[in-house]
Amino acid sequence: MNDNPGFESDDENSEAILAAMDSKSAENLRTLSQYDPDSAVGLMELLA
């Protein structure tokens, strides 16, 4: 639950953005987000 009314958490924002994307792109980003941020794939996600 969010303690700041009027502000969404990062997870809520992420899901809202993914929901607005086409399904293939959203699926790709969900897959990339599973990787450790310090890995090469995780770094690629930051650049996407």
Q: Mapped to the 3 state alphabet, what secondary structure does 2-33 carry?
A: CCCCCCCCHHHHHHHHHHHCCHHHHHHHHHHC
Question: What residues does each domain of the chain span?
Answer: 10-47
- Per-residue pLDDT at 7: 54
Mean pLDDT by 10-residue block, N- to C-terminus, for the chain (48 residues)?
59 89 91 78 66
- Per-residue pLDDT at 31: 86
